[in-house]
Amino acid sequence: MKLVVLAWFVLAVTAVKHELFKTCAQSGFCTRQRHYANHVSTSHYAIDPKSISISTDKVEAQLIKKWPGHSIAFPISIHGIVGNQLRVIIDEDRSSAQGETGLVNPRRYNETGKWAFNGGQVETQAFKSAKVQKNQLVIEYGEHSRAEIDLAQFVINFFYDGELELSVNENNYLNIEHWREEDEADEDGNLMAEELDFDLFSDSFKDSAADSVPVGPESVALDFQFKKHHHLYGIPEHSDQFRLPSTKGGEPFRLYNVDIFEYETSSRLPMYGSIPFVIAPGSSSVGVFWVNAADTWVDIDYNDEGSHTHFMSENGVVDFIVTIEPKVADVNRQYGKVVGNTMLPPLFSLGYHQCRWNYNDEADVLDINSKFDEHGIPYDTIWLDVEYADRKHYFTWQEDKFPNPGRMARKLDRIGRHLVVIIDPHLATGYFASEELIDDGSEMKNSKGETFKGHCWPGESVWVDTLNPKGRAFWAFQYQRFLSNYTTKNVHFWNDMNEPSVFDGPETTAPKDNLHFGNWEHRSIHNIYGLTLHEATYSTINDGDERPFILTRSYYAGSQRTAAMWFGDNLPTWEHLRTSVSMLLTHNVVNYPFVGVDIGGFFGDPSPELLTRWFQTSIFYPFMRQHAHLDTRRREPWVAGGVYTDAMRNAIRLRYSMLPIWYTAFHQSALTGVPVVKPMFYEVNDDAVMEIEDQFFVGDSGIMAKPVMDAGANKVKMYIPQGQHKYIDYTDGDFGSSVKVYQPGTTATIGAPITSIPMVVRQGSAFFRKRRYRRSTRLMAQDPYTLTIVVDDNGNAHGRLYIDDGHSFSYKQGEFLELEVTATASAITVDVVSQDSSDANYSAQLAAMVEIDQIQVVSASGFADVSSVSADSGADTHYVIDGSVMTITAHHPISQSMTLTISRDVVDEL
């Protein structure tokens, strides 16, 4: 009992400090916009019909804001963009503000897309037609989509195949706080009747009182009504449930990148990253991307008609993109054409990562490295936190502890292992890097245009401005100089604290009136700062040969192109374990699959049971890393000992054996934007799965998992989806001596002692694994594949495998292999469907080195009628039937197609 009380006390005193972060009631613009929404009854906005100009892919007009005695025009443009999507932008003419805002650029910030969009811009697409008829602007785009804009009320209705799917501004929440000077008091009518004057030109929040608010009120807000859609997902990052809960009567979700530190679960507080994209699956699926990098609050509500969102941003333009497609995966595919899809990560980064704050010195690093081998546990990467650097001065080493980092990297490289070191955007004052940054003039500035100085890990620091081309060049030079000491290519980087985290700043970040390149206020670009930093890192270390690996903490839409991400400073609780899976699914549905969480919690010391269950869950995190605070006890997998170490070892080995599945899933995501870890509604048409957040599918493998995430549990109840397919028990990646079959539309009880990981496989699936234990992914390269086929009741199955060298960009020149597996009752075919677009060198190498050595076929009805198995190549085949499992020894070169014919005895039914 004393231990329980102590554990509670430790967690209680390390809880998030709510007083550091604003509530909506403490945020001027959130309070004002919510008040407006609660009081507005008719639209104050209309499009001037005489101003409409129509071209092949764009409509331009003037949107007029009216209230008694006043009229303000806002330029509006509607664009057809690639992927049958529609983009709407509402700006403001601020020419009258020129010279009235001091150093600050007076225009509304409209460059978020420059950073979020793949390539910095989005490709346009011509409308099918666009015309004004009666009091409507009607735009037909794509083969199935139509938008109808009510000119008088400014309501936009989006249709797909004639069905209304989305209404924009149906509730009249559109509100653009126009430019005004502070001496223009509300007596002259600058406030509408529905508006408040709370914090128009100042910030009353105690830690933000110094905010000069030089441009005054300039927030924007808009509502979206999703018709017939009763489930909304997305808008990370939040440690809350997967299906977005209603915020009615409570706090909105907040998108504002901060160092949340010891965050809670079931919380709408801001976290480290922001992706203002919401997705609504259904008979037709809808996505809305709110293209704004400022502080943003989002209200969610549900009603009989569907669901409703209210986006409120502190400044910038109104800019949103609407995607409507028949399937939810199609929304990801089209959205990915705008922001880009995940990078195809180097294979080693899908292995296991070992990290803590901090490994003490070179001897400690190499000792941990060898202990993995002693305990038979594979791993690929060891990490160093801030203590490796001399006085936390990035781009340096503590020479007494790490006298020869190049030698250390070479020792790791001998068995294919990698090193990641942390480099943050804050640079301590008074050493070469910060002095070079200030001399260069590419640091973040304060509101007076002077060097901004704040506190972070090394003490007083300055921050690089990576929106500035000179800042990016400075960043590149520092990395290039740092890397010049290494002869190996196994050193990679971790950009942490890049929200940016400022210990003495308001809400743990930079003051909003700081200045960036172009004299843009920090309040305008805050949520993209982290993206600009890790993209600058990626550009620097990308030599065009080896694929870079970078981990970021702060992110925005588009970050998935260049960096993995993790969920920050979590706690060692079962609630945090469960929430990690909800967050994992949320990021996957917004095209950011390469994510993970600190296994076991960053703070505190998890119990052996919790740590073991967390390891078992983590084999389903695309990014699998254990990390821990400086004050925690060591918790490498062998520390717990006994059954716990055995279970952790087996979990990590299972992850490695499944790497062909993970790599194939990432390749598919890189091409199409589909999740790597799929919520169940991506794979099955069953209303009962819409709110399930503790089980999921792994890529297209047909594997469905439900890890144990409750203390003391020795079984799980797994929902088996409705449909035509049964599911086969695959606990621990093994079908067992007797195959268990689960019927669709039922709940299966699956035993799960501390050593077990509950999984099932859907009939009709096929996938590849590598079953030999190796110490790292590089050492697995020439290992044979095992093909597993789980046929349906008709004997059919389908699957794919993608292979390349796992580390270079050679796949972009055609050096890859893609296999398609098709099984019927009478044959198994493995076809090479994509191979070496330029030459056959890679395939020839694979044929000489790598083979399919075994094919495992699972059938619920068994194989009693099988009389022979023969290969089209004439090679000898040997098979063994054990109940419902037939194992065929193949020894077939991986880069050559093959067909196995299955002969069956004719059953005499007379």
Q: Which residues are catalytic?
A: 496, 499, 569
Residue with tokens 């716990």: 644
What element of type H or E holds 63? strand 58-67
In the three-class reduction of DSSP (H, G, I as helix; E, B as strand; rest coil), residue 155 is classed as: strand
Distance, in Å, from the CA atom of 492 to the CA atom of 397, rounded to the nearest integer, reads 15
Q: Which structure tokens are listed for 3?
A: 């231990």
Q: Is the CA virtual torsion 437, 443, 448, 449 positive or negative?
A: positive
Residue with tokens 């870890």: 677
User: Which residues neighbour 694 within 8 Å (Cβ) at sequence distance 6 or greater?
Assistant: 578, 581, 706, 707, 709
| Helix 608-618 and helix 574-589, axial crossing angle in degrees, nearest 10 | 10
Burial of 10 (0-12, 13-18, 19+ CB in 10 A): middle
| Tally of residues, the chain | 910
At residue 287's C-alpha, the angle toward residues 256 and 298, to 5°, is 30
Identify whether 60 is preceded by a cis peptide bond (ω within 30 of 0): no
Distance, in Å, from the CA atom of 499 to the CA atom of 516, rounded to the nearest integer, reads 14
In the three-class reduction of DSSP (H, G, I as helix; E, B as strand; rest coil), residue 146 is classed as: strand
Identify whether 358 is preceded by a cis peptide bond (ω within 30 of 0): yes
Cα-Cα-Cα-Cα torsion 566, 572, 573, 575, nearest 10 degrees, comes to 0
Q: What Cα–Cα distance (Å) separates residue 627 from each residue in 530, 598, 638?
A: 21, 5, 15
Answer left, alpha or beta for residue 306, where phi above 0 means left and psi between -120 and 50 means alpha.
Answer: left
Q: Which structure tokens are listed for 885?
A: 């499992």
User: Which residues neighbour 689 within 8 Å (Cβ) at sequence distance 6 or greater?
Assistant: 679, 680, 681, 719, 721
Distance, in Å, from the CA atom of 271 to the CA atom of 703, rounded to the nearest integer, reads 31
Task: Specify the pairing of strand 885-893 against strand 277-280.
Answer: unpaired
- Residue 336's closest CA among 675, 615, 825? 675
AA letter at 659: L
Distance, in Å, from the CA atom of 216 to the CA atom of 205, rounded to the nearest integer, reads 16
Question: According to the 3-state scheme, what is the secondary structure of 371-431?
Answer: HHHHCCCCCCEEEECHHHCHHHCCCCCCCCCCCCHHHHHHHHHCCCCEEEEECCCEEECCC
Residue with tokens 């060097």: 451
- Residue 807's closest CA among 291, 347, 207? 347
Q: Which structure tokens are listed for 356?
A: 């803590």
Distance, in Å, from the CA atom of 286 to the CA atom of 277, rounded to the nearest integer, reads 11
Task: Specify the pairing of strand 418-422 against strand 381-384.
Answer: parallel
User: Which residues neighbour 777 within 8 Å (Cβ) at sequence distance 6 or greater?
Assistant: 347, 348, 350, 351, 380, 416, 656, 659, 806
- Residue 508's closest CA among 562, 466, 569, 465? 569
Distance, in Å, from the CA atom of 25 to the CA atom of 848, rounded to the nearest integer, reads 67
Q: Which structure tokens are listed for 380?
A: 């690929």
Q: What Cα–Cα distance (Å) separates residue 612 from each residue in 122, 288, 548, 575, 705?
A: 45, 39, 31, 15, 16
